[in-house]
Structure 1
Amino acid sequence: MKPRRPGPLRWLWYALGGGLPLRYREWVLHDASRDRWVLRHFLRAAVQISLVSIPILLLVPGPMWVRLSALLLGALVGLQYALWFVDGSVERRIRKAGYPPGAAQAARDALHAEERAAAAARYAARYQSGNAR
Structure 2
Amino acid sequence: MALQRPNPLQWVRYTFGGRLDDRYRDWVLHDTTTRTWLWRFVLRVVVEALPWLIVAFLVLTLFTPLPLGLVLGALGVALVTSLYFTVTSADELTEARLVKHGFRAGTGKELRKRR
- How far apart, in 2, do the equivalents of 1:59 and 1:42 lie? 25
2:88 aligns with: 84
The equivalent residue for 1:127 is none
Gaps of 5+ in 1: 113-133
Verify: 1:68 aligned to 2:72, yes or no: yes
Of 91, 100, 106, 1:96 maps to 100
Q: Deviations over 1:11-53 (max 9, x none)?
A: 0111111111111111110001110000100000111111210
Paired residues in the alignment total: 111
TM-score, L = length of structure 1: 0.78
Instruction: Calculate the aligned-residue CA RMSD, in Å.
Output: 1.2
Separation (CA, whole Å) in 1 of partners of 2:38 and 2:113: 15
Gaps of 5+ in 2: none
The C-alpha deviation readout for 1:70-123, integer Å capped at 9, x for no partner, is 10110010010121110111001100100000111222234x2xxxxxxxxxxx
Percent of matched pairs sharing the same residue: 32
Alpha-carbon offset, residue 5 of structure 1: 0.6
Partner of 1:124: none
- When Rg is computed on C-alpha atoms for both structures, the one with the higher figure is 1
The residue that corresponds to 2:58 in the other structure is 58
User: What is the TM-score normalised by the length of structure 2?
Assistant: 0.89
